[in-house]
Structure 1
Amino acid sequence: MEHAQAVGGRYLVDGLLGHGGMAEVHRARDLRLDRVVAVKVLRPELAADPAYRERFGREARSAAALNHPGIVAVFDSGEGAGPGADLPYIVMEHLRGETLAELVRDGRAPGPEGALLICAEILDALAHAHRSGTVHRDIKPANVMVTDRGVVKVMDFGIARPLDPAAGVTLTGTGMVLGTAEYLSPEQARGRQVDARSDLYSTGCLLYELLTSRPPFRAETPLATVWLHLEEAPAPPSRYVPGLPAAVDALVLTALAKEPDRRFADAASMRAAVGRALRELRQAVPAPGTAAAPTAATPTAAARAVSAAPTLAAAVPAPSPAPSPTPARRRRMPRVALVLLGCAVLAGGGVAIASARGGAAATVPAPDLRGKTLAEARRTLQGAGLHVGRIATGDCAVPVAAGRAVCGQQPVPGAGVTRGGAVALRIPADPAAVR
């Protein structure tokens, strides 16, 4: 981007702060008010697309309508950036700090207590946005920053939409899915109406990652990850972090319920549950022989922020208990090694990686899973002493009825599989086909 001319005749750009798939963010000086700001500019290759220009403008309008210390402030917007002086731009407050994604990526997650405190701040910001009639729809670690002053800031309202209490929020187009696969709510993935509870699901995914350093669902492709959101129950965070109290597991699993009605009613209710989980965490004493919950190895901006954050009020009323989803099946690691049994192209394609035990392990015939939903296939495999392995996506050679996900498998039906091993599945490429 050219620096010679001030953007909009007012903002003198002096450096690149970062970039993403949609825009670049530059450091600039506001010549009128003599302050440092951040100028977000739509990429030139996207500016000719009306849909991207509308989405970019929506971010400015959505964020500018919100006035909360936990939401990045928008000062101005317009058109006139770039070499041709025709690119749309948004002027925002300039923040110094790190995103939660950077902290997790670098192995500097804030620890369980810090994660809960950060989550409480995010929920405060979302409660304000929801009261103002806006649902974010893309809550994820990369869109939350902890500033050098310890302030948690929710950013990037690029796919936010107005919230209609009667009808929810529809996607940009029929069947169009916007969002990030690891944090996408099931109703977003299905192209259904979305309300504020979708943001709570995404916040649950974010909290899960802060606690365990991994998202609740991740597969080899974004589409396969979406399928896991639709079909798989998440493992409780305490499986990966010994010593976490039951209240933390209950908080996360309630937020990650597949059906919105089984989640918290609103951001305030989830924040109250965060307060209860935090109090239980602080009172917990690790059982003999268990490791204490990990904390950040070195001080970071996030650690400084959460250590200085106020304790959540004990008097916040408790929401009605929400049913927790059934814990995910426990995947058993082989005692000796993982044996690659074979890679074969199925009628619908697919690859199998099965686990085997050393010695003369018993084998069972692979059941016929074709035409079953993922949930049915999983139950069938569990009944046979097996489990679901890799899930591949793509076109199916044989049409499947709506909601009947599995169109191929490896090993093929009847083939011998070591007891405790895995069967890889092939599913259609369209997640909206699953009920």
Structure 2
Amino acid sequence: MTDGLVAGRFRVLGLLGSGATASVYDALDTRDGGRVAVKVLHPHLAAHPQMRAAFLREAEAVAALSHPGLCGVVGSGIHDPEGEAETWTAWQIAPGLTLGEHVRERGTLSARTAADIGTRVLDALAVLHAAGLVHRDISPSNVVIDVDAAGRLRDARIIDFGLVDAAGSTTRGGDVLRSAEGDGVVGNLQYAAPELLRGEGVGPSADLYQLAGVLYFALVGSAPFPRDSPEATVRAHQSAAPPTASVRVGGVPVALDRVIVRAMLKDPAARFASAADMRDALASAVAPRATTVAVPVDATTRTRVFAPALSPAVDAADHAAAEPEGRGGSPWLWGLGLVAAGLVVAVVVALSSGSQPTTARETPAAVVSSPVPTPAPSASETPVATPPPPVMAQVPALEGLGSDAARRALAAAGLAVGEVASVDSARPLGTVLASEPPVGASLQAGGYVALTVAGGSNAVPDVVGAVEQSAIDAVAAAGFVPVVTRRTSSAPTGTVIAVQPAGATSIPLGTSVALEVAAPLPAPTPTAPPITPTPTPTRTPTPGATP
């Protein structure tokens, strides 16, 4: 960086994020005054020519593509004014937050908003696929969204094209920046398609699988297959049935469930044929539908078709701005609404069964009962009211439940959610870790139970000095993707000598963590020992001898 400028051109305004391979800065382009996102390869990686080339391929792969749903390339290159290579790419800056950040900070999204994000991303993927490319890394951290205060989507874009490659390419050992000496399968484990995890050729349908998992996350707040270990997550992607969001969250249309499940089928050929096909199915799943209502008033009244009724779950953002952003209505309110609807139908039927037919426009007169005066009791007759004993409720087992499931469990027990504290944890976002009072405690019905939940982030383990496999296991157990690189060092071979991001840094689950492992120093070249000249013996003359 010279004169405070990256590549002699971009003035850094702040940090947007940092991962295992690069840091991304909010920057000002001094050439035209525009705001850009500048991605700079970490210096320890920029020292290797093959890693610089791999890093720059990201921008080269998509430089010719243009779509509002794809972050466009502004420029790329290697800046080396002082003998210290600075490898960079610059991109259009996307307004808003990543989907992962939005859900973590503001909560899950309505079905309508999630579907709008999906259609925007699918439009962008269609452009990518038409160019013969596959993204291979669609995840909540690689989709940036901008949502207004009422929950309506303003913008959604795909970012991070580091794994983009030609359709049919495998992900096995395909990225020197992310795999250890070409011996792994690269990608985000939580959203990876089964064929990607098997190291097979990856086609466009793998992107559709990943997007379906991202839509599930947007609705529920967790990855589709949260498991206790990476191995269990891989097995789930390979063999477990696709999850249904409506089981976890009330108000998700069954049609939307069907779209997500089809896109996450194990056989790529059984998924949607293209991004356009999935887009059409997604739009149809949340489209408003007219509802036909029969009103049995009398024998001469025919069934009438009322104005189209919109699904509350789908149009919560459009028709209930007062509702908390991104959240559907309470299932208890829906239950009360259904009861009220039943009472209305019962009243209509009762009125229509009388001897006097009633038209739909007639309104029965209100019946008012005159109050009957009751003599006030004398002082000596005033009864002494004994307050009833308080109704007590027991705190149910909540640990391990998602936030919505915990809320329902408490409501069923006659209790309510109180203060919610988010903490670092390897458990999926929103998972209940503890409650106060604890399980089994008794408190008055209607009381509040405070919850401690997983916040979707965790602290990077400090594994410097640990052996390679132990470090990999610790990073994976903490909820991150370990990425191993090697560097010659005097430290014991096979031990971790550096971690990026540093240990104890709190970052979102699923983020890559770079582990730099010590490789043996080159063996010294043997040198021949110095040759010591042997002295030549000399004769000592004998006294008296004749020369």
Alignment of 1:192-271 (within 5 A): 192-271=200-279
2:95 counterpart of 1:101: no
Task: Give unmatched runs, 5+ long, in structure 1.
Answer: 304-334, 340-392, 394-435
Distance change (3 Å), C-alpha of 1:240 and 1:31 = same
CA–CA distance in 1 between the matches of 2:164 and 2:28?
A: 28
SS for the counterpart of 1:90 is strand
2:156 counterpart of 1:152: yes
Q: Which moved more, 1:224-233 or 1:248-257?
A: 224-233
Report how far residue 336 of structure 1 moved: 8.2
Contact 2:7 2:88 in 1 (8 A): no
Distance change (3 Å), C-alpha of 1:211 and 1:195 = same
Distance change (3 Å), C-alpha of 1:26 and 1:285 = closer
Report how far residue 58 of structure 1 moved: 1.7
Report how far residue 18 of structure 1 moved: 1.9
2:169 counterpart of 1:169: yes
Deviations 1:21-59 (A, max 9, x none): 211112222222222222110111222345533331121
Contact 1:127 1:267 in 2 (8 A): yes
Match of 2:477 in 1: none
Match of 2:380 in 1: none
Deviations 1:233-290 (A, max 9, x none): 123111112333221111010000011011001100000100110116896657xxxx
SS for the counterpart of 1:151 is strand
Contact 1:171 1:193 in 2 (8 A): yes
Contact 2:94 2:157 in 1 (8 A): no
2:136 counterpart of 1:137: yes
Contact 1:96 1:148 in 2 (8 A): no
2:282 to 257, 265, 274: 274
CA–CA distance in 2 between the matches of 1:121 and 1:338?
A: 37
CA–CA distance in 1 between the matches of 2:260 and 2:87?
A: 39
Q: What one-letter code is carried by the residue in structure 1 that aligns with 2:89?
A: I
CA–CA distance in 2 between the matches of 1:273 and 1:200?
A: 12
Distance change (3 Å), C-alpha of 1:105 and 1:98 = same
Structure ID, larger Rg:
2
CA–CA distance in 2 between the matches of 1:88 and 1:228?
A: 38
Contact 2:189 2:234 in 1 (8 A): yes
CA–CA distance in 2 between the matches of 1:7 and 1:178?
A: 29
Count of residue correspondences? 301
CA–CA distance in 2 between the matches of 1:201 and 1:292?
A: 23
Report how far residue 195 of structure 1 moved: 0.4
Q: What one-letter code is carried by the residue in structure 2 that aligns with 1:171?
A: T
Alignment of 1:289-304 (within 5 A): 298-299=324-325
Distance change (3 Å), C-alpha of 1:256 and 1:29 = same
Contact 2:47 2:85 in 1 (8 A): no
Report how far residue 337 of structure 1 moved: 6.4
Distance change (3 Å), C-alpha of 1:81 and 1:278 = farther
Q: What one-letter code is carried by the residue in structure 2 that aligns with 1:181?
A: L
SS for the counterpart of 1:279 is coil
Deviations 1:198-248 (A, max 9, x none): 000000000111111122101123332122101211231111123332211
Contact 2:253 2:286 in 1 (8 A): no
Task: Give unmatched runs, 5+ long, in structure 2.
Answer: 149-153, 174-181, 291-308, 329-394, 400-472, 474-547
Alignment of 1:1-400 (within 5 A): 2=1, 4-80=3-79, 85-147=84-146, 150-163=154-167, 168-171=168-171, 173=173, 176-279=184-287, 298-299=324-325
SS for the counterpart of 2:124 is helix
Distance change (3 Å), C-alpha of 1:270 and 1:114 = same
Contact 1:70 1:122 in 2 (8 A): yes
CA–CA distance in 2 between the matches of 1:66 and 1:158?
A: 15
Report the TM-score when normalising by structure 1: 0.62
SS for the counterpart of 1:106 is helix
Deviations 1:4-31 (A, max 9, x none): 3433332233432221221111222222
CA–CA distance in 2 between the matches of 1:84 and 1:111?
A: 52
Distance change (3 Å), C-alpha of 1:258 and 1:145 = same
Contact 2:23 2:41 in 1 (8 A): yes
Distance change (3 Å), C-alpha of 1:36 and 1:249 = closer
Contact 2:196 2:202 in 1 (8 A): yes
Contact 2:11 2:27 in 1 (8 A): yes
Distance change (3 Å), C-alpha of 1:14 and 1:60 = same
Report how far residue 121 of structure 1 moved: 0.3
Report the TM-score when normalising by structure 2: 0.50
